[in-house]
């Protein structure tokens, strides 16, 4: 179903939620216990006016459910503009410089939303905020893929769609696919629709729907089976595998036909009791770089084990794994909690 307006998004998302509740309630399609609570909190935008939804980026940042809180950046932006603080003392700019130090300029991130002046610090020709730093951390880690032909990119659990839009801009895949609960797809579809007025955006609404050639394709989690025969070059999951059930993780790993997957997750999210070890699930099925021995050594002195991040490229084909130095991974020494 092609999306032509925000009204389309409202209509189809509500219909999908109703369809799921009537026909697709299973232990795989149901949200994990931790996400069931969060989905209730994130439902309010569907009642907003179209004018308010034009500013959906300003509604992100509830904890880390969908994006980072931007209020701290807002205050610092004003401190800088009023001369209370100097740009060299900004932690945002310091981290941005660290993250881009060894990154080609064509992979520098900047806030793309039209409301960016309100929520970002302008630095040179870029707009920097908390989410831009998170996206830059990941994008810099993916520079090792710059020579790889990525025609189809897929993100499982894309939040409001911020990183998927950055990946689309910097890697230029022919198609970007986002899988999520319908309640969250509302956010990512609206954000993507607003910021890509010239792109074709489609939504899967039926299990047997034919996959079209749209620039952005949105897939409700309970209809993921429609992608079984769809070739996917690169998959990303950040911070949500560890919030799922073991059965859901296994389902995605066996259903999706991908060459390479990048995981940025905790081994176990401390509030989620439905997964014991994400690392075991991933590495029992696939080859990885780095291997777990790298993290065993890197984290051997850490006492707070529950909050440690693990970045893996995984594939069933070792030849697909990129070559890079794991010690240079962002998210370990810079922006290590994200």
Q: Are residues 121 and 225 in the same domain?
A: no
- 46 assigned to some structural domain: yes
Token digits for 273? 């009791």
> Which residue range forms the structural domain that includes residue 90?
71-135
Residue 16: which H helix or E strand, with range? Answer: helix 6-23
Nearest Cα to 294, choosing from 251, 332, 258? 332
Q: Are both 42 and 101 inside the same structural domain? A: no
**Burial degree of 63 (CB within 10 A; 0-12, 13-18, 19+):** exposed
315 and 255 belong to one structural domain: yes
pLDDT at 62: 67
φ and ψ at residue 22, rounded to 5 degrees: -85, -35
CB contact at 8 A, 250 and 236: no
Judge if 119 and 159 occupy the same domain. no
The CATH number that applies at residue 264 is 3.40.50.150
Tell which residue, 100, 70, 34, has the closest CA to residue 160: 70
Same structural domain, 213 and 303: yes
For residue range 42-74, list pLDDT tens digits in order. Answer: 888 888 999 999 999 999 986 557 888 899 999
Residue 82 belongs to some domain of the structure:
yes
In whole angstroms, what separates CA 218 from the centre of its chain? 13
Residues 11 and 159 in one domain: yes
Contacts of 158 (CB under 8 A, 6+ apart): 164, 178, 179, 180, 184, 188
Domain boundary among 135, 160, 188: 135
Residue 112 shares a structural domain with residue 239: no
259 within domain boundaries: yes
Task: Answer whether residue 194 is part of any domain.
Answer: yes
- pLDDT averaged per 10 residues, the chain (length 338): 96 96 89 87 87 92 77 95 96 95 96 96 97 96 96 97 98 98 96 97 93 96 96 97 96 98 94 93 96 93 85 97 92 68
Residue 333 in tokens: 């020494």
Domain end, chosen from 113, 135, 157, is at 135
Both 153 and 15 in one domain: the answer is yes
What pLDDT does 38 receive?
Answer: 85
Residue 335 is predicted with a pLDDT of 64
Tell me whether residue 335 is in a domain: no
| Domain assignment of residue 142, yes or no | no
Separation of alpha carbons 83 and 80, rounded Å: 5
Residue linked to tokens 């993916």: 142
Sign for the CA dihedral angle at 53, 132, 38, 180 comes to: positive
Return the CA Rg of the chain: 19
Answer yes or no: do 184 and 127 share one domain: no
pLDDT in the model for residue 25: 87
Q: Are residues 26 and 114 in the same domain?
A: no
pLDDT at 207: 87
pTM: 0.95
The total number of structural domains in the chain stands at 2
Let me know whether 50 and 103 are in one domain: no
Q: How confident is the model at residue 100, as a pLDDT?
A: 96
DSSP 238: E
- Are 243 and 156 in contact by the 8 Å Cβ rule? The answer is no
Same domain for 166 and 89: no
- Is residue 42 a part of any domain in this protein? yes
The verdict on residue 334 lying in a domain is: no
């Amino acid at each position: 179903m092609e999306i032509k307006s925000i009204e389309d998004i409202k209509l189809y998302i509500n219909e999908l939620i109703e369809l799921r509740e009537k026909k697709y309630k299973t232990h795989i399609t149901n949200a994990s216990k931790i996400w069931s609570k969060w989905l209730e909190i994130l439902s309010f935008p569907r009642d907003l006016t179209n004018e308010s939804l034009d500013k959906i980026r300003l509604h992100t940042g509830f904890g880390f459910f969908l994006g980072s809180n931007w209020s701290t950046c807002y205050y610092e932006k004003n401190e800088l503009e009023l001369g209370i603080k100097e740009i060299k003392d900004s932690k945002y700019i310091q981290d941005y410089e660290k993250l881009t130090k060894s990154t080609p300029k064509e992979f520098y991130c900047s806030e793309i939303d039209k409301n960016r002046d309100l929520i970002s610090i302008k630095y040179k020709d870029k707009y920097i905020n908390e989410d831009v730093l998170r996206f830059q951390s990941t994008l810099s880690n993916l520079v090792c893929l710059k020579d790889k032909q990525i025609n189809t990119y897929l993100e499982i659990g894309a939040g409001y769609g911020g990183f998927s839009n950055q990946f689309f801009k910097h890697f230029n895949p022919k198609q970007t696919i986002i899988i999520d609960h319908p309640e969250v797809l509302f956010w990512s579809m609206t954000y993507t629709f607003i910021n890509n007025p010239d792109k074709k955006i489609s939504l899967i609404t039926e299990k047997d729907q034919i996959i079209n050639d749209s620039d952005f394709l949105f897939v409700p989690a309970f209809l993921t089976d429609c992608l079984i025969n769809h070739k996917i070059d690169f998959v990303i999951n950040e911070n949500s595998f560890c919030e799922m059930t073991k059965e859901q993780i296994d389902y995605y790993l066996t259903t999706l036909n991908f060459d390479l997957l990048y995981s940025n997750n905790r081994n176990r999210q401390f509030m989620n009791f439905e997964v014991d070890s994400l690392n075991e699930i991933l590495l029992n099925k696939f080859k990885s770089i780095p291997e777990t021995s790298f993290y065993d050594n890197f984290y051997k002195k850490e006492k707070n084990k529950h909050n440690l991040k693990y970045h893996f490229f995984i594939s069933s084909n070792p030849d697909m794994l990129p070559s890079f130095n794991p010690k240079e991974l962002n998210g370990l020494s810079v922006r290590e909690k994200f």
